[in-house]
């Protein structure tokens, strides 16, 4: 493997973000909207056959792109920490990136639910206010938008990496990752002998998703030329953990993400850095945090006036891409610049 010299941006990562975000949106609009409590009509004919095949062979199909996001996060967070002089720099960088557009998305989603008055979207004012903190799952409050579950994983990961950074333990990152990935494997294997890892331990140590974050961090080290045997050994353990945790089909796709990362850091996926995918990657966070409930209400309205399901999906996707672009241009980028400038 021949590492690529680090640049200001890794454009293939931006393309990965765009593809993963589009996958999430199409899954939500094409399948999740048709399941309770949402009012979409289930597919018929060949569409139902495809849905049954996916359910039987890829039970985590809707989660797979989020797992890809976690790999990307592992890669990016180490990169961010390397460029942070102090722990405050890291906190401000992440807060400026995550919160402004998230607050806008939560507010828009909540307001849309109030205006639409649909029984399946009955978020209270208290739930809305707690969701603004991004801590809703930790304190046991229902999410305004189901897609926000992954933000809890991201926050816990950031806290853990911040602790390593502040304590000066990043130099022991590979040892930490070894213990962590062994914990991930144990979480999947121990139930086979009748022992279940406590839920809080699984949740707060990210033992269900650590293999993805670790893989991203190891790929970053390889990209920076920090080769040796250890990153490859840890990646192999990540593959073992993934194989233990998921069905054969899901695990195969997750391993495909690892292959894509390997190709990207060796400079073999430059063709993905096209204008459409780079744009999609640039709006991917805004799209992810805003698309679900607003899109569902829009599709429910179109369904009510008799528009075909395919038209609902295309128009909802177009509308949410446009909204994501506006949120990115008007809120995310200006707010981030303002926060970092005043820091």
From first to last of its 343 residues, what are the pLDDT tens digits of the chain?
Answer: 444 444 557 899 999 999 999 999 999 999 999 988 898 887 766 777 888 888 888 999 999 999 999 999 999 999 999 999 999 999 999 999 999 999 999 999 999 999 998 888 889 999 999 999 999 999 999 999 999 999 999 999 999 999 999 999 999 999 999 999 999 999 999 999 999 999 999 999 999 999 999 999 999 999 999 878 999 999 999 999 999 999 999 999 999 999 999 999 999 999 999 999 999 999 999 999 999 999 999 999 999 999 999 999 999 999 999 999 999 999 999 999 999 988 6
Total tally of structural domains belonging to the chain:
1
C-alpha neighbours within 13 Å on the C-beta side of residue 299: 30
Mapped onto helix, strand or coil, the DSSP state of residue 191 is helix
Q: Which domain holds residue 127?
A: 11-36+61-342
- State how far the alpha carbon of 242 is from the alpha carbons of 124, 215, 257, in Å: 38, 11, 12
Residue 112 domain-assigned (yes or no): yes
Query: Whole-angstrom Cα distance, residue 17 to residue 149?
Result: 17
Tokens 């331990």 belong to: 201
Residue 80 domain-assigned (yes or no): yes
**What is the reported pTM?**
0.94
**Phi first, then psi: what are they for 90, rounded to 5°?**
-65, -45
Residue 67 domain-assigned (yes or no): yes
* CB contact set of 189 (below 8 Å; sequence gap of 6+): 244
Contact 31, 62 (CB under 8 A): yes
Residue 53 domain-assigned (yes or no): no
Residue 223 domain-assigned (yes or no): yes
Orientation of helix 284-304 relative to helix 275-282, angle to 10°: 90
Residue 42 domain-assigned (yes or no): no
DSSP 324: H
Residue 48 domain-assigned (yes or no): no
Residue 206 domain-assigned (yes or no): yes
């Amino acid at each position: 493997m021949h590492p690529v010299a680090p640049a200001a941006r890794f454009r293939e990562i931006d393309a990965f973000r765009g593809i993963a975000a589009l996958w999430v949106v199409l899954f939500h609009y094409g399948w999740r909207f048709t399941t309770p409590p949402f009012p979409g009509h289930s597919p018929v004919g060949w569409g139902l056959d495809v849905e049954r095949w996916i359910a039987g062979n890829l039970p985590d199909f809707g989660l797979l792109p989020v797992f890809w996001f976690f790999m990307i996060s592992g890669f990016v967070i180490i990169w961010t920490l390397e460029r942070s002089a102090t722990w405050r720099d890291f906190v401000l960088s992440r807060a400026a990136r995550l919160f402004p557009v998230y607050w806008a998305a939560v507010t828009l989603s909540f307001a849309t639910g109030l205006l639409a008055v649909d029984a399946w979207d009955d978020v209270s004012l208290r739930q809305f206010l707690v969701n603004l903190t991004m801590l809703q799952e930790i304190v046991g409050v229902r999410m305004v938008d189901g897609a926000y579950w992954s933000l809890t994983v991201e926050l816990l990961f950031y806290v853990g990496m911040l602790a390593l950074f502040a304590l000066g333990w990043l130099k022991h990152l590979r040892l930490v990752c070894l213990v962590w990935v062994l914990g991930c494997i144990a979480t999947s294997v121990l139930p086979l002998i009748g022992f279940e890892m406590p839920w809080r331990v699984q949740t707060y140590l990210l033992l269900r998703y650590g293999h993805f974050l670790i893989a991203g961090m190891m790929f970053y080290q390889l990209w920076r030329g920090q080769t040796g045997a250890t990153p490859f050994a840890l990646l192999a353990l990540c593959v073992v953990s993934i194989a233990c945790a998921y069905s054969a089909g899901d695990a195969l796709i997750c391993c495909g993400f690892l292959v894509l990362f390997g190709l990207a850091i060796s400079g073999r996926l430059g063709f993905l850095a096209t204008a459409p995918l780079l744009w999609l990657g640039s709006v991917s966070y805004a799209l992810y945090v805003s698309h679900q409930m607003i899109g569902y209400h829009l599709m429910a309205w179109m369904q009510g006036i008799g528009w075909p399901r395919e038209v609902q999906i295309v128009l909802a996707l177009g509308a949410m891409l446009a909204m994501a672009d506006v949120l990115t241009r008007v809120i995310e980028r200006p707010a981030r610049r303002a926060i970092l400038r005043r820091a």
